[in-house]
Chains A and B, each alone.
Chain A
Amino acid sequence: GAVVSQHPSRVICKSGTSVKIECRSLDFQATTMFWYRQFPKQSLMLMATSNEGSKATYEQGVEKDKFLINHASLTLSTLTVTSAHPEDSSFYICSARPPGLDSPLHFGNGTRLTVT
């Protein structure tokens, strides 16, 4: 079945540094990938839609200059948290939908970011 891989699974960084998270579709091509954020005991909130070959679309309230998204190829999207602060600590999850009508959304295993 379709697999979405995320890396790293955990990262700890110091305040002010930047962190890059990778999301790969392993056995299908994805022109669109989605980035979600999940705070403890809360649901998934859509941050942005990553589009291969064009700019990402950000949800209201998500700073595009802080959360840089690059959809470099049909199988790779990256999310870079720039100048991270402790309030950016969260669980970041990417997802992608294989081609085909009504194909379901598949999720990566998430990246736990802790900013100290």
Chain B
Amino acid sequence: TQLLEQSPQFLSIQEGENLTVYCNSSSVFSSLQWYRQEPGEGPVLLVTVVTGGEVKKLKRLTFQFGDARKDSSLHITAAQPGDTGLYLCAGEGNSGYALNFGKGTSLLVTP
């Protein structure tokens, strides 16, 4: 099983602050996905990164895939209370295109 380690596990910040979430593995992934999940709902795909060194931007969110395709980061600029949620990184596992998930980063942004 290809393990994904996420850090930090919990993050509580004030509106307007910046933050970075890390996703690391000892394995090489063909792609990594970032999801956001709100309580009581399924995860929603934010982005897929495929190419080593790739940087993708989604409004105030910046996603980076490491050159060796073993790690990824999510940076949020000027966080808003609406950014509150569980952020999950995921990579393809061994079970026929299922995804293995990191443990997630629970983000709380207070006004």
Binding site for B on A (CB under 8 A): 4, 6, 32, 34, 41-46, 49, 57, 59, 91, 93, 95, 97, 102, 104-110, 112
Cα A4 to Cα B100 in complex, Å, equals 19
Q: Which residue of B lies closest to A49 (CB)?
A: B95
Mostly, the B contact residues are loop
Which residues of chain B are near A112, meaning CB under 8 Å?
40
Q: Is the CB of B45 within 8 A of A104?
A: yes
**Please, could you name 26 A-B residue pairs with CB atoms under 8 Å apart, sorted by A?**
A4-B42, A34-B95, A34-B99, A44-B101, A45-B101, A46-B93, A46-B95, A46-B100, A57-B96, A59-B95, A93-B43, A95-B42, A95-B98, A97-B97, A102-B48, A104-B45, A105-B90, A105-B97, A105-B99, A106-B45, A107-B42, A108-B42, A109-B40, A109-B41, A109-B42, A110-B41
Max count, chain A CB within 10 A of own CB: residue among B31, B44, B90, B95: B95
Mostly, the A contact residues are strand
Q: Return the contact of A44 from the options B88, B96, B97 (Cβ within 8 A).
A: B88
Shortest CB-to-CB span from B35 to chain A, Å, is: 8
Q: Is the CB of A32 within 8 A of B102?
A: no
Q: Is the CB of A43 within 8 A of B93?
A: no
Shortest CB-to-CB span from A110 to chain B, Å, is: 5
Shortest CB-to-CB span from B84 to chain A, Å, is: 14
Q: Does B104 contact A (CB under 8 A)?
A: yes
